[in-house]
Amino acid sequence: MSMDFGFDVISAKEYERQRVLYEPLTAAIRNLIDAGIHTDVDEATAREAQAAVEAVTELLAGKRRTVTTTLRHEDTGRPLAWANPAVGLRNAIAPPMVIHHEDDGRAWSDFSLSGAYEGPPGWVHGGICALVLDHILGEAASDGLTKPKFTGTITLRYLRGTPLGPLRAEAYIDRVEGVKTFARGFLRDADGTTVEAEGVFIQPVWARDAG
Amino acid sequence: MSMDFGFDVISAKEYERQRVLYEPLTAAIRNLIDAGIHTDVDEATAREAQAAVEAVTELLAGKRRTVTTTLRHEDTGRPLAWANPAVGLRNAIAPPMVIHHEDDGRAWSDFSLSGAYEGPPGWVHGGICALVLDHILGEAASDGLTKPKFTGTITLRYLRGTPLGPLRAEAYIDRVEGVKTFARGFLRDADGTTVEAEGVFIQPVWARDAG
């Protein structure tokens, strides 16, 4: 396992403390995003809501940490990726996906997409399918983000519409050729696969000597 | 122009009223997402913020509209897509991209991606690049979403990392073969192209008779 990113390691206890601290706050912001999309309040109420949101933002911005993406869990060695727009525990944009890693290298996630991810009425935006598939393929290709890998190419094949609601994303490494890792995966609902993906992930030049 | 979606048409005046009503609220929620990612407040402050967010959510949810995705602007005939996670004026998940359509069919957007879209430290998440490119190719392929088209396949080629900050996405129709529209596009920063995309967009069966 390559640990040469210059990440800080966080203890399991500190991880848990921060998770309990921030997860419900992020969940509350996620609900607010949804309420903002669907609200039909009048102008006075909208302005009142806006002022309240601005006040909370000021409260939270009062103490700010510079970086949240460079912490690693002491047990798993995995980056916490708390700011990540697919999996970030602290990013209300993320569904969030919780990623599971199997011993055979498969990565999978069961998650649910709300109306905030809607493209055509009732269906997940095709680009959101691409986001979650790029992420899960990257997780498989990089052994849970422990090995630096960047997306080289990714191809998505949309077999049918992906409905809003509960979904599974899954990915595995198909083969490795030098600095290129070929990953495959899919997105599916209760009735089967909706989108297939294949991607080539590339080890950056700066990480190649580290092996 | 196919208008057989069953969309409601909204007047230019009503569009403007709703835009002024909701755009600043959504912008405020966007800032809150960012503050939530980076805050380092203590537990008491986090709980206070959470309670305040929950109160605003309740306020906004007090009056809720069923659907926001089926309104069309009376002048352009284009769906407003206010809930859309790429362009939605009312969706705080969206950057948002503002899409411009040229007479020659090109679609383009200048927009900026904040730290909320970060994957590797300093770089845009590859899946977010995929989201914005899927969307802009879809805009070009569907003549500004006026013609029903679903993504069939899309391939993204990442030439280099895409930095956070100001970006341009652009797309055009390469060719049309029956129900398949082939679109191409790119994402670029000030130094040139970072990601190339090509996609096949397909007219759904239910829309084929409408021509």
Residue B119 CB contacts under 8 Å (≥ 6 apart), including other chains: A84, A85, B125, B126, B127, B128
Q: Based on the fold, state whether residues B39 and B104 are members of the same structural domain.
A: no
Residue B25: strand, helix, or coil? helix
pLDDT per residue as tens digits for the range A4-27: 445 677 788 888 888 899 999 999
User: Who wins on pLDDT, A209 or A85?
Assistant: A85
Estimate the crossing angle of helix A43-61 against helix B12-38, to 10 degrees. 20
Question: Do residues A116 and A44 both lie within one domain?
Answer: no
pLDDT of residue A72: 74
**Residue A200, token pair as written in the block:** 């080539």
Q: Given CB atoms, is A112 within the 8 Å cutoff of chain B?
A: no
The answer on B63 and B24 residing in a single domain is yes
Q: In the prediction, which pLDDT does B5 show?
A: 47
* Residue B109 shares a structural domain with residue B91: no
Domain that holds residue B89: 1-96
Round the average pLDDT of chain A to a whole number and report it: 89
Read off the amino acid at residue A21.
Answer: L
- B107 in the same domain as B204: yes
| Residue A70 pLDDT class (50, 70, 90 cuts) | low
B93 closest CB neighbour out of A52, A93, A134: A93
List pLDDT tens digits, range B39-95: 999 999 999 999 999 999 999 999 888 655 566 777 777 777 889 999 999 999 999
Kindly state whether A109 is in contact with chain B, defined as any CB-CB distance less than 8 angstroms.
no
Give the mean pLDDT of B97-118.
Answer: 95
Nearest to B29 among A36, A67, A90 (CB): A36
Q: What is d(CA A90, CA A82) in angstroms, rounded to the nearest whole number? A: 5
Tell me the chain A residues in contact with residue B186 when contact means C-beta distances shorter than 8 Å.
none
Nearest to A68, CA basis, from B43, B53, B34: B34
Contact in structure between B98 and B109 (CB atoms under 8 Å):
yes
Q: Give the closest residue to B149 by CA, choosing from B79, B85, B197, B59.
A: B79
Q: Give the total number of structural domains in chain A.
A: 2
Rounded distance between C-alpha atoms, residue A50 and residue A70, angstroms: 32
Is the CB of residue B99 less than 8 Å from the CB of residue B87? Answer: yes
pLDDT of residue A51: 98
Q: Is there a contact between B151 and B131 (Cβ–Cβ < 8 Å)?
A: no
Q: Are residues B131 and B161 in the same domain?
A: yes
Q: Both B55 and B122 in a single domain?
A: no
- Do residues B105 and B90 touch, judged by C-beta distance below 8 A? no
CB contact under 8 A, B60 and A83: no
DSSP state of B125: -
Cβ-based neighbour number of residue B153 at 10 Å: 16
Domain with residue A120: its CATH number is 3.10.129.10
Q: Which of B54, B69, B96 is the last residue of a domain?
A: B96
Supply the pLDDT for residue A66: 67
Does the pLDDT at position A103 exceed 50? yes
Same domain, A202 and A154: yes
Quick one: pLDDT band at residue A208, thresholds 50, 70, 90?
A: confident
Strand, helix or coil for residue A192: strand
Mean pLDDT over all residues of chain B?
89
**B107 has pLDDT over 70:** yes
Q: What angle do CA A125, A131, A132 make, to 5 degrees?
A: 100
Cβ atoms of B154 and A131 within 8 Å: the answer is: no
Which amino acid appears at position B41 of this protein? V
A-proximal residues of B, 122-141, CB under 8 Å = 125-128, 130-135, 138
What pLDDT does residue B69 have? 55
Considering the domain architecture, whether residues A62 and A138 belong to the same structural domain is answered as no
Per-residue pLDDT at A67 exceeds 60: no
The answer on A116 and A86 residing in a single domain is no
* DSSP secondary structure code for residue B118 in this structure: B
Tell me the C-alpha distance between A91 and A76, whole Å: 21
Mean pLDDT, residues A106-129 taken together: 95
Q: In this structure, are B92 and B120 located in the same domain?
A: no
CA distances from A185 to A84, A132, A135, A193 (A): 20, 11, 10, 10
Let me know whether B2 and B82 are in one domain.
Answer: yes
